[in-house]
Structure 1
Amino acid sequence: MVRVKICGVTNGADLRAVADAGADAVGVISAIPVDSPREVDLAQAADLASMAPPFLTTVLVTMPETPEDAVDAVRTVTPDVVQLHGEFSPEEIGYIRAETETKVIPVVDYDEPERARKLDEAADALVVDSTDEDGGGGTGETGDWEAAAELRRDLVSPVVLAGGLTPENVVDAAATVEPFAVDVASGVERSPGAKDHAAVSRFVRNAGRALGEAEEVYE
């Protein structure tokens, strides 16, 4: 089973559409140092997280300057999971988890397999994404799926595949990488920061087909 996270939700209507589509997780982006149409302030992030129905995992996506800033953001929003952008060490990830009692998922670029291996034992999972020069995700650029598949086989941590995914390519991506989950933001938008509800449903539905596709490919 390939799980689905819809990221960059900015309003209640989009969050309800994510839940209605049957996604497993919803991401809210806050406290990042780069411009993004998907960012909301921490108070809005907390409101959105509180709106999530039971069994929809809430994920705070943030890029703090320090581990202490990460802890403060998590305490404000109270998500189920924090997705952490930035150059944090295994020890800092452990500190954030211990202080917040929240699962921590760092983000690594497709081009950073050694960093992924370094963070493997410290992380609850790893997001493999196409990041920009500032370390932020949501670039909409597709990564090297074959390299991600090799990395996934090397790691103990579950791998969440991101970067340029759409309803049209998610089956192939998941069949190639066989990740724990797939993660989409810009690939299901009608405009920056606003979700296309039909595209969200198609993405979730097509991701659900991925396991069957993978079984056919690897038989």
Structure 2
Amino acid sequence: MTRVKVCGHAREDDVAASVEVGADAIGVISGVPVDSPRAVDPERAAELLEGVPPFVTGVLVTMPETPEEAIELVERTRPDVLQIHGPFEPTDLEAVKETITRPVIKSVDASEPEEARAFDSVADTLLVDSTDASGAGGTGRTHDWERTGELVRELDSPVILAGGLTPGNVARAIESAEPFGVDAASGVESEGGVKDHEAVDQFVRRAQEAKEEVPAR
């Protein structure tokens, strides 16, 4: 069953809309050294994550420079899951996991499969994305889904597919890569940081409809 994450929430009504249409996970971005219309300060992130109801996963998405920075932000925002982007070593991730009690998702670039392999035994889940030079996501660019599908079959960690996903292509992406989950941010927005509720509804529905079309491995 392909899980669906909608990322980059900055408003309570967007969180509520994504939950209402059946998103499995709600992403909130904070603590990133890049200019993003989806990023909020830690206090705001804590408020938004607190509004995620039971049985839906609240995910803090961040780009820490050190394990200590990641741990402090988790303590301040209290997410269900931590998602780390940017240059982070496997040993850094191990240090974070030794301290926090949440599962950790590590973002890796689709063009660097060796990075995914390096984190495979450390991360709880890997997010394969089309990142920019800083390692940030939200670029709106797709990548080779069939190649990512090869990683899905090779790696032990569950793989979330991200990068340029929209209501119009998410079903094809799932059929090509057969991921554990899919993740959209800019592809379901009316403008930067503002979710298009109809697009979110279509994205979730089409991802759910695609589940039955994916052949069992």
For structure 1, the 5+ residue unaligned runs are none
- Is 1:122 the counterpart of 2:122? The answer is yes
Within 1, Cα distance between the matches of 2:161 and 2:99? 27
For structure 2, the 5+ residue unaligned runs are none
Cα RMSD, aligned residues only: 1.1
Q: 1:192 deviation in Å?
A: 0.7
- Is 1:67 the counterpart of 2:56? The answer is no
Match of 2:18 in 1: 18
Match of 1:96 in 2: 96
Within 2, Cα distance between the matches of 1:105 and 1:208? 22
Amino acid aligned to 2:155: L
1:40-70 Cα deviation digits (max 9, x unpaired): 0000000001011111100000001111100
SS of the aligned residue for 1:64 comes to coil
SS of the aligned residue for 1:214 comes to coil
Match of 1:214 in 2: 214
SS of the aligned residue for 2:213 comes to helix
Q: 1:88 deviation in Å?
A: 1.7
Amino acid aligned to 1:207: A
Q: What is the aligned-residue identity percentage?
A: 54
Match of 1:159 in 2: 159
Higher helix share: 1
Match of 1:39 in 2: 39
When the two structures are superposed, what TM-score results if normalisation uses the length of structure 2? 0.98
When the two structures are superposed, what TM-score results if normalisation uses the length of structure 1? 0.97
Amino acid aligned to 1:74: V
Within 2, Cα distance between the matches of 1:102 and 1:90? 17
Q: 1:214 deviation in Å?
A: 2.0
SS of the aligned residue for 2:190 comes to strand
Within 2, Cα distance between the matches of 1:21 and 1:28? 18
Within 1, Cα distance between the matches of 2:206 and 2:86? 31
Q: 1:102 deviation in Å?
A: 1.3
Kept in 1, the 8 Å contact 2:4–2:182? The answer is: yes
Amino acid aligned to 1:154: E
Aligned pairs (5 A) from 1:53-202: 53-202=53-202
Within 2, Cα distance between the matches of 1:107 and 1:130? 10
Within 1, Cα distance between the matches of 2:136 and 2:89? 17
Kept in 1, the 8 Å contact 2:65–2:88? The answer is: no
Amino acid aligned to 2:118: K
Within 2, Cα distance between the matches of 1:88 and 1:155? 19
Kept in 1, the 8 Å contact 2:159–2:181? The answer is: yes
Q: 1:213 deviation in Å?
A: 2.2
Amino acid aligned to 1:49: L
Q: 1:96 deviation in Å?
A: 0.7
Within 1, Cα distance between the matches of 2:95 and 2:21? 35
Question: Which stretches of structure 1, 4 residues or more, deviate above 4 A after TM superposition?
Answer: none
1:156-202 Cα deviation digits (max 9, x unpaired): 00000000000010000001100000000000001110000011011
Match of 1:28 in 2: 28
SS of the aligned residue for 1:44 comes to helix
The alignment of Structure 1 onto Structure 2 pairs a total of residues equal to 217
